Amino acid sequence: MNDKNTLEGTTTVGITCKDGVVFASEQRATMGSLIAHKNTQKIFKIDNHIVATIAGSVGDAQSLMKYISAEVALYQLRNNIEMSIDSAATLTSNILHSSRFTPYYVQTLLGGVDAKGPKIYSIDPSGGLIPDDFIATGSGSVFAYGVLEDRYSDDLPVDEGINVAIRAIKSAMERDAYSGNGILVSVVKTDDGYNELTKEEIQERYNKI
């Protein structure tokens, strides 16, 4: 994760499952070879059915998450319905594209569950928008993708998807110097919406991998 003046390095992953979506990240933020922060929040609850992850400039990423969250909340107040995942992703893409001359230096994953089912998008700093079944971002993504390519299946349940996500982040932490200092996991399930795993739940699964 990278602030234009200080921080760089990240690994985040997003996985679609048959009954929801799983997002995971590590927690390290670096300043060159210095570990600047060991407890960096890289997963954001946008709404009870929408989650996003960030890689890139810290200030830009935090500003973007606040912007998206506010727009999603305003949409629901005005229309009395939840914003769809497609619409939230398009909103984020439009924000980034409209700021291309003074860009947000971020790579974003956004996804969740709506009436059409689970979905995740990768959104680049210029607003490029690509849906996929699983996505990794950041400096450790090449290592995370090795796990995701091997372990993903179309009928993966959320419970198993959590294990795959943790395994992918673990692989990145072992090989990427910019990734480390713990794992965060959040899920959105079709039946009960957003949930964050506790450190104890994550550690228990990590120990079994």
Q: Is residue 42 part of a domain?
A: yes
Domain that holds residue 31: 11-208
Of the candidates 32, 42, 11, 36, the one whose C-alpha atom is nearest the C-alpha of residue 165 is 11
Q: Is residue 5 part of a domain?
A: no
Active site amino acids: 10
121-143 pLDDT, tens per residue? 999 999 999 999 999 999 999 99
Q: Is residue 6 part of a domain?
A: no
54-91 pLDDT, tens per residue? 988 788 888 999 999 999 999 999 999 999 999 999 99
pTM of this structure? 0.92
Written as six digits, the tokens of 142 are 């090449």
Q: Is residue 1 part of a domain?
A: no
∠ CA(165), CA(170), CA(174), 5° rounding? 155
Structural domains in the chain (count):
1
183-208 pLDDT, tens per residue? 999 999 999 999 999 999 999 999 99
Please state, in angstroms and rounded to a whole number, the distance separating the CA atoms of residues 180 and 205.
17
CATH code of the domain covering residue 22: 3.60.20.10
